[in-house]
Amino acid sequence: MKTLFLVLIGGILISCGSTQSIEVTEAQRKALDEIVTQKKYEIISDWASPLTTTSVNAVANSGLLPPGSTVNNISLIGNGNHFRMDGDSVDVYLPYFGERRLSARYSTDAGIKLKGAYDNYKVEYNEKKQLYLIKFNVDDIQESYRIIIRLYANLKSDISVNSN
């Protein structure tokens, strides 16, 4: 019994080991550096990960989510979306999955649409994770959005959008 316990504990400790550092080629690093420096790129998302709320659960339970989707990971494949950075402006259309609270305006838009200038632009490079962290704000007619983008050397990305 004591041997079984030690084997289980040993297995858990081995499986909890730290991850290996990410290996990035010099070409990948230079390509990523140039993309970030030029501020000219486009991101097409395959997945959305909304906050799980009662409303999102109700939609999931009704069977309205795309095939292969779950309440916290919704497939965007075949669903038009884009995030374009072009110098000092952005053009964004991201589908919105969630519930709006305390909204003062009514709109037929089913997503987040932004077009124009941004402010508070900050770029950080994380050497350990080999990624750029880009943060900025974009104001709409009545909302302000805080956007955080993680750009990886393999040209994968992650976009987080927070609004007021």
What average pLDDT does this structure show over 145-158? 93
What is the pLDDT confidence band of residue 54, given thresholds at 50, 70 and 90? confident
**What does the pLDDT read at residue 115?**
93
Q: What value does the mean pLDDT of the chain take?
A: 81
Q: Given this model, what pLDDT does residue 90 score?
A: 96
Instruction: Say which residue, 78 or 44, is predicted with more confidence.
Output: 44
* DSSP state for residue 70 in the 8-state scheme: B
Fold of 23-163: Lipocalin (2.40.128)
Distance CA 138, CA 92 (A): 10
Task: Say what the pTM is.
Answer: 0.77
Please tell me the distance from the alpha carbon of residue 118 to that of residue 16, in angstroms, as a whole number: 41
CB 120 within 8 A of CB 131: no
- Tens digit of each residue's pLDDT (9 = 90 or more) over 109-122: 678 899 999 999 99
Contacts of 26 (CB under 8 A, 6+ apart): none
Q: How many whole angstroms from its chain centre is CA 86? A: 19
Give the tokens for residue 140.
């709409």
